[in-house]
Structure 1
Amino acid sequence: MLEVNSYFDGNVKSISLQTRTLPATIGVMAVGEYEFSTSKKETITVVSGELLVKLPDTEEWGTYTNGAKFMVDANKVFQLKVNEETAYFCTYE
Structure 2
Amino acid sequence: MSAQIDQVSVVKKSNIYFDGKCVSHTVILADGSKKTVGVIFPSSLTFNTGAPEIMEIVGGVCKVRLAGASDWNTYGAGQEFNVAGNTSFDIETVETLDYVCHFG
**Which TM-score tier does this pair reach, normalised by the shorter chain?**
over 0.9
1:31 corresponds to which of 26, 42, 45: 42
* Cα RMSD (Å): 1.1
State the shift of 1:10 in Å: 0.8
State how many pairs are aligned.
Answer: 93
1:82 corresponds to which of 93, 96, 102: 93
SS of 1:9's equivalent in the other structure is helix
Aligned: 1:48 with 2:51: no
Question: Which runs of 5 or more structure 2 residues have no equivalent in the other structure?
Answer: 1-9
Question: Which runs of 5 or more structure 1 residues have no equivalent in the other structure?
Answer: none
Match of 2:17 in 1: 7
1:65 corresponds to which of 54, 76, 89: 76
User: Displaced runs of 4+ in structure 1, greater than 4 A?
Assistant: none
Q: Which moved more, 1:16-25 or 1:52-61?
A: 16-25
SS of 2:20's equivalent in the other structure is coil
Distance 1:92 1:4 in 2: 17
Between the aligned residues of both structures, percent identity stands at: 29
TM-score, structure 2 as length reference: 0.84
Match of 1:19 in 2: 29
TM-score, structure 1 as length reference: 0.94
